[in-house]
Amino acid sequence: MARTRSRLADGREIVYFDREPGRTPVPDPRDLPAAEPLCETRRDPLTGDRVTVTAHRNTRTFLPPPDQCPLCPGGPASEIPDAGYEVVSFENRFPSFSSRTPDVPATVDGQEIFARAPGGGRCEVVCFTDDHGATLARLPIERVRLVIDAWADRTAELSDMPGIAQVFVFENRGVEIGVTLHHPHGQIYGYPFVTPRTERMLAMASAHRASTGRDLFEDVLDAERVAGTRIVASGEHWTVFVPAAARWPVEAHVMPHRHVPDLAALTGPERDELAVLYRDLLRRGDTLYGTPLPYVAGWHQAPTGEGRDLLRLHLQLFSIRRAPDKLKFLAGSESGMAAWINDVPPERIAARLREAAVGAEA
């Protein structure tokens, strides 16, 4: 993999990833003001959760026509100056977190109970291809492998940046999910804090180790493989399964067979197999209802500090589509109380994903 760095007109970094070296980046011709994002976090005193407030993101681009897509290469509205690319990652123009954000007072309204802090960190956009009409599921295996290498590269680099506590690699796909750009892409968040879900998993893994002496993720994976009823696919290094307590009408996890804290720690053979199994899972999802599946696919990675021996890297893919013409909306129990109700038994989800294998090969 060849990595080439450059800068956009407002100072943001852009990194190209190619299978072969030799790229000479084109200068960004736009006249842009310096990037000055406004990001802050506020702590909810009732739950301890941090809520991020971003005063600048309401002006971000929303579902532009193809000829004005900012992720297509070389156009007048493009964030990517080069005439073509394989995989590229750049700092988000409308970030949720940024090291450039100014300082803020330590409290809201001078009240100590309402803790406040700058929303430091970093947000990047990762484009999987310069083909506007493509999808990650339909890219060649060698391109999916390059995407994985780019994810690992950015995970390693962001993890070493000051003030970043956790790196989250994810893709939102489909207008039903809320995407604002159709071009095939994902995002990377370098959080200035450990997220609530990760804190909860670390607490559960720590308690499990204290009571049993064993690794929680190892025991979960072993139990799923022994039961077999929710296994979708497996290989030498990875298993794809629907979790026994799946929250969503379509949900699958992809977990490595050894303890790996993050994408950067994967070996070459593990990345090779992941490219095949992940693309296969995406294709299975697209065959379930005869229409492209709206989904969120997120890589849960260990924090950059403590807990790297407790949390194992794994992918969670889920969709809000519960029938060809029906979506699952988070209603009172889920949104108000975080108490999940799933209308589809996980075993049925797994069976349907397994049965989708024929369509997945088309």
Q: Are strands 314-319 and 250-256 parallel, antiparallel or unpaired?
A: antiparallel
User: 15 has which bridge partners?
Assistant: 5, 89
Query: Is 237 an active-site residue?
Result: no
- Calpha distance 91→79 (Å, rounded): 10
- Half-sphere exposure (CA, 13 Å, Cβ side) for 131? 9
Taking alpha carbons only, the member of 17, 261, 260, 197 closest to residue 124 is 17
Beta bridge partners of 42: 51, 116
Q: What are phi and psi of 134, to 5 degrees?
A: -85, 175
For residues 9 and 23, give the distance between their C-alpha atoms in angstroms, rounded to a whole number. 19
CB 136 within 8 A of CB 150: no
Backbone Cα Rg of the chain = 21
Distance separating alpha carbons of residues 16 and 22, to the nearest angstrom: 11
> For residues 154 and 126, is the Cβ–Cβ distance under 8 A?
yes
CA–CA distance, 290 with 283 (Å, rounded to integer): 11
The DSSP result for 124-184, as a single string, is EEEES-S-TT--GGGS-HHHHHHHHHHHHHHHHHHHTSTT--EEEEEEEESTTTT-S--SS
Q: Which listed residue (185, 237, 253, 314) is catalytic?
A: 185
Catalytic residues: 185
